[in-house]
Amino acid sequence: MADQYLFMIVEPDWDSDAYAGEGAGEQIAAEFPEFEAFERRVAELGARIVAGNALHNRRHGGIVRPGPDGREVEDALWTDGASLESDEVISGYYVIEAESEEIARQLAPLVPTGGHIEWRRVFPMG
């Protein structure tokens, strides 16, 4: 049975708003051909991309820390944007199904990034 691996793309934040609107997928494919090359390599190694997406710029999200008295919204501490402790963010991810950790290790350095990849085997929950 194949395991799933999460590959988180960690790199400097990007201007996702520049790619908003109709035709964004085609524009990204044209400007970043390494993603298509990565998808081909996944297939060549007998693995399968289960999910994957780019994430918007940190302006379109934030951080929340649950309050000390529970998980109520009004008790939470909210911060706009990603962690200010780093200039890098998780800009996207892939979930890949592979027959072995060896295949996952071969794929990890091939994930296109301007930073680094953090990868982990997904813990099966059911």
> 97: which 2 tokens?
């199904």
pLDDT at 83: 60
pLDDT tens for the 126 residues of the chain, in order: 799 999 999 999 999 998 888 888 788 888 889 999 999 999 999 999 999 999 999 889 888 888 887 777 778 888 876 565 678 899 999 999 999 999 999 999 999 999 999 999 999 987
Following CA atoms 43, 48, 53, 54 in sequence, which dihedral angle do they give, to the nearest 10 degrees? Answer: -40
Helix residue ranges, H only, the chain: 24-31, 34-44, 101-107
pLDDT at 85: 65
Q: Rounded CA gap, 11 and 93, in Å?
A: 11
Report yes or no: 126 and 51 within 8 Å, Cβ to Cβ.
no
The predicted model scores a pTM of: 0.86
pLDDT at 90: 94
pLDDT at 68: 80
Report yes or no: 89 and 13 within 8 Å, Cβ to Cβ.
yes
Residue 115's Cβ-side half-sphere holds a number of Cα atoms within 13 Å equal to: 18
